[in-house]
């Protein structure tokens, strides 16, 4: 039996970042079923920070993280975590209502006409575009450097990572959580469920009924750019109704059909129909003929019914804390949610730009899903 102050289940970016923050206040053990952290959703992220993406609360949380990625704490990483890249939400003529709705909801975004968009991304077919909204914030994230930075902090603060151990049993006994993971048995008064797509399964092991989290598969793939076309300076381009998006990726073009197919928690793999859908939508937008898909992959994005993260204590069982349901925002919201978790668990208030997060504690808490 190994004792600690906090057990965290799941070493994706949510669990790892929370472990790093909490290890300043308590002894933390982080348990991961795979042989390495960040294997599932984190490792397959689109690796982009978009401050105009998602629910307004998610946008506020993401905006609070931008300065962290631009200027990380000393010693966090030698790599540049955020490489600036604009984002343009583009619309066809038949999407005028969606464009106007987003424009009214996000007045800081700059309206740009079709000619201006084609000036930045010349592959769009004539007549395809109505216009778009330009977000001058955001950029490409170095996901591995972020994950490794948090792991470095976690270990330096005395945290212990147990890889390759699937949790098979959880019970509450004498004010302690007892967690069985392979041949290892752990005990702590506080258990944090950061298991991503498996969060409902972890809760079930602890005897808790579901809160409504659903894993959704999302597909992405890369293609070669047109001959002679330099794509590195392109913004990330997202359809106003999120029918698909594309962005530069190491000299290639990464495309996603923005699919959201319900799935059981699994090692997600791309389906041919989803890749074909993405190819079709890109070809319709550009008039280009995609002859070859270089690589394709899929990941899981897990959402609560209201599409907000779940961060807080479960009132049904003492010492059970949820940190799940980040959907497609896990990496870009991780620094903020980790500090919010630290505050809710230990009482240490978020710092700097994260101080505003205190206003969202009730909004993100599990009781909202139990009514």
Provide the pLDDT for residue 3.
60
pLDDT band at 148 (very low <50, low <70, confident <90, very high): very high
Q: Do domains 2-66+142-212+306-369 and 87-135+214-303 have the same CATH topology?
A: no
- On the question of pLDDT at 2 being above 70, the answer is no
Residues 150-173 have a mean pLDDT of 95
Provide the pLDDT for residue 251.
94
For residue range 183-210, list pLDDT tens digits in order: 999 999 999 999 999 999 999 999 999 9
For residue range 293-303, list pLDDT tens digits in order: 999 999 999 99
Per DSSP, what are the bridge partners of residue 170? 179
Give yes or no for a contact between 66 and 51, defined as CB atoms under 8 angstroms apart.
yes
Please tell me the CATH superfamily of domain 87-135+214-303, with its number: D-Amino Acid Oxidase, subunit A, domain 2 (3.30.9.10)
Residues 20-38 have a mean pLDDT of 93
Structure tokens at 298: 């899929």
Residues 44-48 have a mean pLDDT of 82
How does strand 184-188 pair with strand 2-3? parallel
So where are the chain's domains?
A: 2-66+142-212+306-369, 87-135+214-303
- On the question of pLDDT at 1 being above 60, the answer is no
Alpha-carbon distance values, 195 to 9, 33, 41, 173, 322 (Å): 6, 9, 11, 22, 9
Residues 208-227 have a mean pLDDT of 97
For residue range 317-358, list pLDDT tens digits in order: 999 999 999 998 999 999 999 999 999 999 998 888 899 889
For residue range 71-118, list pLDDT tens digits in order: 999 989 999 999 999 999 999 999 999 999 999 999 999 999 999 999
- On the question of pLDDT at 68 being above 70, the answer is yes
Give yes or no for a contact between 217 and 296, defined as CB atoms under 8 angstroms apart.
no
Q: Which CATH number fits the domain 2-66+142-212+306-369, given the four candidates 3.50.50.60, 3.40.630.30, 3.30.70.660, 3.40.50.12160?
A: 3.50.50.60
- Average pLDDT of every residue of the chain: 95
Provide the pLDDT for residue 351.
83
Q: 139-152 b/e with 16+ CB inside 10 Å = b?
A: bbbbbebbbbbbbe
Say which DSSP state 209 is in. P
Q: Taking each helix axis from N to C terminus, what angle separates 143-156 and 13-22, rounded to the nearest 10 degrees? A: 30
Give yes or no for a contact between 8 and 192, defined as CB atoms under 8 angstroms apart.
yes
Phi, psi (rounded to 5 degrees) for 365: -75, 150
């Amino acid at each position: 039996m190994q004792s600690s102050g906090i057990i965290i289940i799941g070493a994706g970016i949510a669990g790892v970042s929370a472990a790093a923050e909490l290890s300043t206040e308590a002894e933390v053990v982080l348990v991961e079923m795979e042989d390495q952290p960040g294997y599932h959703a984190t490792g397959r992220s689109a690796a982009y920070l978009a401050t105009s993406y998602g629910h307004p609360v998610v946008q506020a949380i993401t905006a609070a993280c931008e300065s962290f990625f631009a200027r990380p704490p000393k010693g966090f990483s030698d790599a540049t975590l955020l490489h600036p890249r604009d984002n343009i939400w583009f619309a066809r003529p038949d999407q005028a209502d969606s464009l106007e709705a987003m424009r009214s909801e996000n007045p800081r975004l700059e309206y740009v006409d079709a000619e201006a968009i084609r000036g930045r991304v010349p592959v769009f077919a004539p007549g395809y575009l109505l216009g778009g909204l330009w977000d001058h914030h955001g950029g490409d994230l170095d996901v591995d450097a972020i994950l490794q930075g948090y792991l470095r902090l976690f270990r330096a603060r005395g945290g212990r990572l147990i890889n390759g151990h699937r949790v098979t049993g959880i019970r509450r006994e004498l004010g302690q959580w007892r967690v069985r993971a392979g041949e290892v048995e752990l005990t702590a008064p506080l258990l944090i469920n950061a298991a991503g797509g498996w969060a409902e399964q972890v809760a079930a092991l602890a005897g808790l009924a579901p809160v409504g989290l659903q894993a959704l598969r999302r597909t992405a793939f890369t293609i070669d750019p047109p001959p002679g076309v330099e794509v590195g300076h392109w913004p990330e381009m997202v359809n106003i109704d999120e029918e698909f998006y594309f962005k530069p990726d190491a000299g290639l073009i990464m495309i996603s059909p923005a699919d959201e197919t319900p799935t059981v928690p699994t090692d997600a793999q791309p389906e041919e129909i989803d890749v074909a859908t993405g190819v079709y939508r890109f070809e319709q937008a550009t008039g280009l003929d995609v002859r070859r898909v270089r690589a394709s992959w899929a990941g899981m994005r897990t959402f609560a019914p209201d599409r907000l993260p779940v961060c807080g204590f479960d009132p049904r069982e003492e010492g059970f804390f949820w940190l799940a349901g980040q959907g497609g925002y896990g990496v870009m919201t991780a620094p903020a949610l980790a500090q919010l978790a630290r505050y809710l668990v230990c009482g240490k208030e978020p710092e700097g730009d994260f101080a505003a997060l205190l206003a969202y504690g009730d909004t993100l808490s599990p009781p909202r899903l139990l009514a």
